[in-house]
Chains A and B, each alone.
Chain A
Amino acid sequence: MTDGDRLEGLRAAVELSPDNHALRLVLAESLREAGETGDALTEFERVLDAGALPRDEAIQVGTDAAHAGRLQLAARCLELARNSGVIGGTAGLEDLLTALLADSGAVRRIDGPEPDDSVTRRVSVAEEARTFADVGGLDDVKQAIHRTIVLPYQRPDLFEHYGRRAGGGVLLFGPPGCGKTLLARATAGECGAPFLNLRIEDVLAPYFGVSEQRLHQGFDEARASAPCVLFLDEIDTLAYARRNQRGAGVGRAMVDQLLQELDAIGADNRGLLVLGATNVPWDVDDALQRPGRFDRVVFVPPPDTEARRRVLEIALRDRPSVGIDLDALAERTPMFSGADLCAVIERAVDAAIDEALTSGHEVPITQRHIEVAMRSARATTLDWLRTARNYTEFANEGGRYDEVRAYLDQREMRKLLRR
C-alpha cells in the first residue's frame, strides 16, 4: 500500500465517521508526515475544535501553524499548551508568535524606555530571549519552577480560584557557576514578563539613608512594571545576616528596608515576582526566609550529565577539535560546575597551543589534550556541597531543605563528599 492509498483510505474513513477524532488525528499526522502541511493543519484544527488535540501535540502543531502563517491556530495551540501545563517549547512558541506578529505589524508587548535615573537594569524582551530550552538539563528544577512560578502567571484564573496570586518571593540557591542567573532569566522568559535586575552596585551609596532610598526606588520601578520579575542576584550582599554584621554599616538598614519592601508596607506587590539568588543561603538574614517573603526555596544543583555535555559543546564551539568524546567527558566530570568545565577546555586549548608551538604546525584539540587538562581538574562545587550538607543537617527547620538533603544523601554524592 502506498502513502497515497493510505491517505485516501483514511480520508474516506474520516468522511464516513466525522466525529471519530482519534481517526482524524491519525489522518492529520499522516498528512504531516507526507509533507501536506496545509491539509494536516486543517485536520488538526478540527481536532482542536473538538477539544481532542492531545497536549503533547500542541507545541508541534502550533509551531507548524506559525510557520505556515496560520497565527490564529498557533495562538490557540499555545493557549492549550499553557493551560495544560506543558513546559518544553511553550516559551519558544510564544517567542515565535511574537516575532511573527511584530513582522506583520501588530504589537504584542512594548517595553518602555528605561528612565535615566533608573536604579534597576531593565533587560529588554528582545535581549531576554532565554527560556528553559536554553538551560540544559536540570529538568527537576525547571519542573519545580514551572509549577510554582510560571504557571501562576500563565493560569491566573486557576490560581486565583484557589486564592493564590502570581508573584511573591523565590530564592534560588546552589553552588557558584551552576546557572542560577541563567535560570532566573529563563524563568522571566517563560513567564513572558519584563526582567529587572537589581544589584548591590546599583543600591549602595556612601551617604546616610541613600542606599535604602535606592532600594525602595528599585522596588517602585518594578511595581510600576508589574507583572514583572525583579531579580536580586547575590542577595546575601543586600541582605547579609544581621547577626554577622558588626558596627553601624549600611547593611542592617538595608535588610530592614528589604523586609519592608517584601512585606509591601504601603505598597502593592501584586504581580511582582521577586527572585533572589545566592551561593550562601546561610549568610542571608533569617527574617527574609519567613513566610510571605522568600518562602519558596529552589535548590539549583551542579549541572547534570546532559547539561555538562552541553557546556562542553559550547566551550568547544568555533575551536578546531577532533575525536573528543563529549559524552564520556561529561560522564567523567560529576559535580563540575560550568566554570570548571570551561577551565578544562581552556587548559586543553593551552596544551594544543604548546604542541603547535613545539611541532611548528597547527594541531586540533584532541582527546589527548583533554586528558592532560583533566589531570589537574577538580570539581570546585564539592567544598560548597560539604558546607551545604552541614547547614541542611542542622538548619533544616520545617523541612525547608529536604530537597537538598535528599540530593546530598544519594549514594554517589556521599561517596564524592567523603574526605
Chain B
Amino acid sequence: MSSLQLAAHLLNVGRPEDALRELQRLGPDEAGSVNALCLRGYAHLNTGSLDAAVHDARAGLQAAPDDIELHYLLSITETQRGDLAAAEAAILAALGYAADDAELLAQYSRVLMRGGQLEKAGRVLAAAGASDPRSQEVLRCRIDLAYLRGDTAEAEGLTHLLLADDAESVRGHQMLGVLALERGDLPVAETRLGEAVRLDPVHDEVADSARAAQILQRPYYWPVRFFDRFGAAQTWVVAICLILGLRAAGLTVAAGILGLTWMIVCAWSWAAGSRLEHQLR
C-alpha cells in the first residue's frame, strides 16, 4: 500500500489533515508528481489552506499544462479565494480540453454566478444539462441559480428532483429548510434543516437555523414570527400609517389603543428576540 493510495483514500473519506500527513511521507520524486500535487492541492482546499492549494495546482500545471483536474482544482480554489478572473481563466483552460464536460461547465456557471452574471450562467448550465441530463452537480447549480434569481418555486421543484435522486443530499434538505424558513413554514424548516444537520453536523450556522426553527414555534415567540413573516420595516410603516390615519379621521381613542398595542407588540418582540438569541448561544 503506497502512501499516495492511502492519501487518496483518506481524502475520499473526509480526512484531509491525515491525507496531508501521509503525503509528507512521500519521497522527493513521488512528492513532485502531478498526482501527488493534485491530491495535496485538494487536501489543502479541504482544510481551508487556499493559498497552498493554489500553489500546488500551479506547480502541477507547470509539469502538466493539459491536466484538466488541476485546472478544475485551480478554478474552485480561486473562486473560493474570490479571484474570479483567475477562476474563469482556469476553468476556460480546462474547457479548452473538454468543452462538453458537464462538471466543468457547472463549475464555470458557479464562477459566473459568483460574479453576478446570472443570464450567462443560465446559458452555460443549459449546455451542461444537454451534455449530461442526469448530472447531480448540474442540478445543484440550477437550484442555486433559481434561488439567486429569486425564483423560489423553481428552486423548490428542482430540489425535490435532487432529493428524489439522492434522499440524503445535505444540500437538498438545507435548501428546502431555508425556503421553508423564508416563507414562515417553521415545522418543515425544522424537519429539513434538522435532517441536513444530522447528515453533516459540522456547520454551526445550519444547526442554529434548525434550532431557531424549533424554538420559534413556541407560542411566546409569535411577535418574532410576525415580524419575520412580513418584514420589520414594512410592518412598521403599515402600523404607523394606520395609527396616523385613525388620528386624522378623528378616531383618537382607536388610534391610542392601536398605538399602545403596537408598543406592547414591539416590546414583546424585542424581549422574545433577545431570549431567542440567548437560547441559541
Contact = CB atoms under 8 A, between A and B. Distances in A.
Interface string A381-393: 0000011111101
B129 interface: no
A419 B5 CA distance: 39
A391 B202 CA distance: 8
Given A200-B9, A204-B6, A237-B10, A390 B204 contact: yes
Contact of A244 (B14, B201, B204, B207): B14
A251 B201 contact: no
A243 B13 contact: no
Most chain-B Cβ atoms within 10 A of its Cβ — which of A243, A250, A387, A394? A394
B168 interface: yes
Contacts of A251: 9, 12-13
Most chain-B Cβ atoms within 10 A of its Cβ — which of A283, A388, A390, A418? A390
Given A206-B1, A237-B13, A418-B281, A200 B201 contact: no
Interface in A373-412: 386-391, 393-395
Nearest to A202: B1
A332 B119 CA distance: 57
B199 interface: yes
B197 A391 contact: yes
A393 B14 contact: no
A283 B9 CA distance: 14
A390 B197 contact: yes
Interface residues of A, number: 29
A394 B196 CA distance: 9
A201 B6 CA distance: 7
Nearest to B207: A390
Contacts of A153: none
Contacts of B198: 282, 391, 394-395
Interface string B1-34: 1100110011011110000000000000000000
A222 to B, nearest CB: 20
A245 interface: yes
A105 B33 CA distance: 58
Contacts of A280: 14
A257 to B, nearest CB: 15
Given A237-B15, A418-B281, A204 B9 contact: yes
A364 to B, nearest CB: 34
A35 interface: no
B176 to A, nearest CB: 15
B223 interface: no
A387 B202 CA distance: 5
Contacts of B55: none
Interface string A135-178: 00000000000000000000000000000000000000000000
A394 B202 contact: no
Interface in A41-96: none
Interface in A190-219: 200-201, 204-206
B274 to A, nearest CB: 15
B143 interface: no
Contacts of B10: 200, 237
Contact of B13 (A236, A386, A390): A236
B171 interface: no
B60 interface: no
Contacts of B207: 389-390, 393-394
Contacts of A386: 204
Contacts of A419: 204, 281
Contacts of A418: 281
A336 interface: no
A395 B9 contact: no
Contacts of B181: none
B128 interface: no
B194 interface: yes
Given A282-B201, A391-B198, A206 B2 contact: yes
A201 to B, nearest CB: 6
B211 interface: yes
Contacts of B186: none
Contacts of B9: 200, 204, 237, 249-251
A231 interface: no
B13 A283 contact: yes
B135 to A, nearest CB: 13
A157 to B, nearest CB: 41
A132 interface: no
A245 B14 CA distance: 9
A283 B1 contact: no
Interface in B74-104: none
Nearest to A203: B1
Contacts of A245: 12-13
Given A237-B13, A394-B194, A206 B5 contact: yes
Given A390-B204, A394-B201, A394-B210, A240 B5 contact: no
B197 A249 contact: no
Contact of B5 (A204, A283, A394): A204
A389 B201 CA distance: 9
Interface string B181-208: 0000000000000110111111110010
13 contacts: A200-B6, A200-B9, A201-B1, A237-B9, A240-B14, A244-B14, A245-B13, A390-B197, A390-B204, A390-B207, A391-B198, A395-B197, A395-B198
A-B pairs with the 5 shortest C-beta distances? Answer: A391-B201, A240-B13, A390-B207, A390-B201, A395-B198
Interface of A: 200-201, 204-206, 236-237, 240, 243-246, 249-251, 280, 282-283, 386-391, 393-395, 418-419
